[in-house]
Structure 1
Amino acid sequence: MLTTATKETLQDPVIQRQSHLPIAIAATKVSLLEDEPFYHLQKISFAPDGSRFLLIDVSRLVSLYFSPNDILNYSHFAHLRICKPSTRIMVGECVRDVDWFPLMDSNNPATCAFITCCKDHPVHLWDGNDGSYRCSYCAYNHCDELVSPHSIRFSTFGDSIFCGFHRRLCVFDTQRPGRDFIEYSLTSYRGQGPSLRGIVSSIDSKIEEPYYLTLGSFSGVVGLGDYRVDQANFLHTTMRAHNGGITMVRFVPGSSTLLLAGARKDDDIVVWDIRNTNKVVYRLSRKSETNQRIGFDIDHTGKFVCSGSTDGIIRLWSLQNGRLFMSWNASRWSISSVSWNPCFPLLASCSGQRCFPVRSHSCLGSKQGSDSSSESIESEWFSSNRQMKQEDDHFVYRNKVAALWYFQSL
């Protein structure tokens, strides 16, 4: 079951061979129970050792899946494997962000953990094997009220947890849960020095320089700083990356200078060289026409970057020259998130979007036709439209599907 490339006019067209395109080998099964609504998946994330992955649902559900052990022993992939979750965690509110412990090792159960942040809840640390609760990290404002971060991130060695708030950054010690944290202000005193306004929506750190951070905000500004300095001088430079709100910022592994940033309602992923922040290296074109978060991910070698899109097409670029390497139609709906497996040539993607019903029961922004790859994946559980007719009068969520793609040659 090979996928076929979508015949569309791209900004940088490439010749794509059918044998080079990835194969859909596994997918998550959507439950059609009445008590489980059709909420879409908003994020997927592989563990650092590639043994499992997380699926984040807008219905306050976090599902833990284990990667198939014999997935690379197949000589051919004749049938689509259906993955079932090993455990599910119902959190208090919609999950804003999630991150794995970076030094995770399946042979050491103590390191199998991940953190989540939700609205009106502290940061929770969960067990990566059975989904049990471990501890919490609570942040408070000047009125001694509990505040919830909008973005979280482990440090490179897992000794600290970074939490992004409105105009401030809080750093927790991983070994000391509770309310002890160090606060860094992101606004300058009387306009002297760089300032990062708005909500901190994404955080990332360098592998080579773990104390060097990049912060993206919903004001469209990316800030660079070092949290080893005093709280007043955390930021040392800012740059205007997008007109819309930044949804993701990532350093390129293996490169100490390249930085990628993506925003909502912006079709470009901007690639920066932090040595010269006044000039963009190149732009990677995708489709992001709504306010939905469209995530991208960089492989562990730092050679390729992959991104979802609102048109259901997954695009893969080469970071050496910024040229489009391949693209394929993965879903009839938006691809909200992608994640590379750090150990195997596997890519995980999840799809779905919030839709408003119209007379023809179609979705705004959806395509009338779809590719054979997306049809073959979704026909496993969307063989009839009986459940689709039970829609809400206000809005509905469609296509709660995640798939694993195997690259034969990359």
Structure 2
Amino acid sequence: APDGSCILTCSDDNTLRIFDLPPPPGPPPGAVPALRVPEGDTIYDFTWFPLMDSSQPPTCLVAASSRDNPVHLWDAFDGTLRGSFRAYSHLEEPVAPHSLAFAPDGSQLLGGFDGAVRLFPTHRPGRHCQERRGGQGQRGLIGCLAFSPTQPVFACGSYGRSLGLYALEGGGALALWPHLPAAPTHLCFSPDGNRLYAGGRKDHHVLCWDLRRPERPLLALERRVGTNQRVTFDLDPTGRFLVSGDTDGFVTVWDTLTPPGTGDPPLLSPGDLGVIMSPPPHPSLHPGLPLLATASGQRLFPAPWDSDEEGTDEDGPPPGGGQSPTALVVGA
């Protein structure tokens, strides 16, 4: 959470869970969530309200997008619905964004749709929104969004393997990278707003651009992502250390102030942290303490020939599927 008081997770049962963190130097959080919030279908994305402060309950909000449902704004204390943002296609059918991001001041909520971003005013839940299209340079589903913490600009990555930087007030792209090696699935600005990091699906690098010289990537941070699953990463509050998981189950940290090696773009060597978990781990750094939380898990489907029941091959697989449990680890 933005105030560091709790951890928000999402699982394959279409449920959001919030785990409370005790104040330091208390014990690690228990396995029982403080709050469960079920969504109606597959959850595409979820995010905290950026001004969330546990001492001010009206600010404790979570936005979540799920398939064929409006974007829901949930109360993080009691799980009640505080508002909905509805989007429709040109055929007046409900559509849900695949990515979400709040403006740093919480005044607007961005949703990534097919070839477009829609801006919803948070003070006015409902259908009202402004649509921004990427034009000829950026097509495809907008799968990830990020706001600059220092300027009124945002970045969006599409499944068409493009990345764009746009001003909040409107206009065309301030910068556009139309031919990336992979489709971006996660974006992150540095705290000073000068750097933009992007990681993609089936890609072996997190790329970093210096937005003051955006012509070519500044750094490449090597990690293995061998699937289409979104594998997230995070920066510490100073912007110096970047932490990422990979599909082999490793959690790696990079010191972004270390001089890079050779290559085009220059390759940055990882540091010493090497936690191994069930793949792929998704890390999140505490905003004020030296704590790292990771959650991991993946959907598992039974093979057609796997069955505990006696019978012939024509009986087919047993009903239902399996999934690995979500692991939650907190450590210094």
Give yes or no for the alignment of 1:398 onto 2:303. Answer: no
Structure-to-structure mapping, 1:124-143, within 5 angstroms: 124-143=72-91
Deviation, 1:73, is: 5.2
Q: Give distance in 1, aligned partners of 2:281 and 2:115.
A: 26
Closer, same or farther: CA 334–130 of 1 in aligned 2, 3 Å: same
Q: Give distance in 2, aligned partners of 1:392 and 1:54.
A: 33
Match of 1:285 in 2: 222
Match of 1:259 in 2: 196
Match of 1:382 in 2: none
Structure-to-structure mapping, 1:36-55, within 5 angstroms: 47-55=1-9
**In the alignment, residue 228 of structure 1 is paired with which amino acid?**
E
Match of 1:7 in 2: none
1:308 to 233, 238, 245: 245
Deviation, 1:241, is: 6.2
Closer, same or farther: CA 81–116 of 1 in aligned 2, 3 Å: closer
2:21 to 58, 67, 70: 67
Match of 2:262 in 1: none
Give yes or no for the alignment of 1:197 onto 2:142. Answer: no
Closer, same or farther: CA 405–242 of 1 in aligned 2, 3 Å: farther
**In the alignment, residue 151 of structure 1 is paired with which amino acid?**
S
Q: Give distance in 2, aligned partners of 1:167 and 1:103.
A: 29
Give yes or no for the alignment of 1:166 onto 2:166. Answer: no
Q: Give distance in 1, aligned partners of 2:199 and 2:318.
A: 32
Q: Give CA deviations for 1:56-104 in whole Å, capped at 9, x if unaligned.
A: 012201111111224x257xxxxx7633101111110111111111111
Q: Give distance in 1, aligned partners of 2:12 and 2:198.
A: 23
Aligned residue for 1:329, secondary structure, equals strand
Match of 2:57 in 1: 109
Deviation, 1:267, is: 1.3
Give yes or no for the alignment of 1:327 onto 2:327. Answer: no
Q: Considering only aligned residues, what root-mean-square deviation do their CA atoms show, in Å?
A: 2.2
**In the alignment, residue 142 of structure 2 is paired with which amino acid?**
V
Deviation, 1:357, is: 5.0
Larger mean CA deviation between 154-163 and 271-280 belongs to 271-280
Closer, same or farther: CA 213–159 of 1 in aligned 2, 3 Å: same
Aligned residue for 2:109, secondary structure, equals strand
Match of 2:132 in 1: 184
Closer, same or farther: CA 81–121 of 1 in aligned 2, 3 Å: closer
Q: Give distance in 2, aligned partners of 1:118 and 1:394.
A: 21
Q: Give distance in 2, aligned partners of 1:315 and 1:108.
A: 35
Deviation, 1:341, is: 0.9
Give yes or no for contact 1:173–1:181 (8 Å, CA) kept in 2.
yes
Unmatched 5+ stretches in structure 2: 259-267, 307-316
Q: Give distance in 1, aligned partners of 2:63 and 2:241.
A: 27
Q: Give distance in 2, aligned partners of 1:141 and 1:358.
A: 37
**In the alignment, residue 402 of structure 1 is paired with which amino acid?**
L
Give yes or no for contact 1:167–1:185 (8 Å, CA) kept in 2.
yes
Deviation, 1:348, is: 0.7
Match of 2:261 in 1: none
Q: Give distance in 1, aligned partners of 2:233 and 2:138.
A: 23
Deviation, 1:198, is: 0.6
Give yes or no for the alignment of 1:206 onto 2:155. Answer: no
**In the alignment, residue 143 of structure 2 is paired with which amino acid?**
S
Deviation, 1:268, is: 0.6
Closer, same or farther: CA 340–174 of 1 in aligned 2, 3 Å: same
Count of residue correspondences = 313
Deviation, 1:240, is: 4.0
Q: Give CA deviations for 1:197-229 in whole Å, capped at 9, x if unaligned.
A: 1111111111110x2111111111110111213
Q: Give CA deviations for 1:12-34 in whole Å, capped at 9, x if unaligned.
A: xxxxxxxxxxxxxxxxxxxxxxx
Match of 2:185 in 1: 247
Q: Give distance in 1, aligned partners of 2:75 and 2:16.
A: 12
Q: Give CA deviations for 1:345-364 in whole Å, capped at 9, x if unaligned.
A: 111101112345579x9xxx
Closer, same or farther: CA 86–142 of 1 in aligned 2, 3 Å: same
Q: Give distance in 2, aligned partners of 1:173 and 1:213.
A: 16
Give yes or no for contact 2:19–2:34 (8 Å, CA) kept in 1.
yes
Q: Give distance in 1, aligned partners of 2:249 and 2:22.
A: 25
Q: Give distance in 2, aligned partners of 1:226 and 1:184.
A: 11
**In the alignment, residue 297 of structure 1 is paired with which amino acid?**
D
Q: Give distance in 2, aligned partners of 1:309 and 1:123.
A: 29
Say which structure, 1 or 2, has more relative contact order (CA 8 Å, 6+ apart): 1
Q: Give distance in 2, aligned partners of 1:154 and 1:125.
A: 12
Q: Give CA deviations for 1:35-62 in whole Å, capped at 9, x if unaligned.
A: xxxxxxxxxxxx1000011110122011
Q: Give distance in 2, aligned partners of 1:357 and 1:273.
A: 45
Aligned residue for 2:74, secondary structure, equals strand
Closer, same or farther: CA 269–81 of 1 in aligned 2, 3 Å: same
Match of 2:123 in 1: 175
Match of 1:151 in 2: 99
Q: Give distance in 2, aligned partners of 1:399 and 1:146.
A: 32
Give yes or no for contact 1:269–1:285 (8 Å, CA) kept in 2.
yes
Match of 1:9 in 2: none
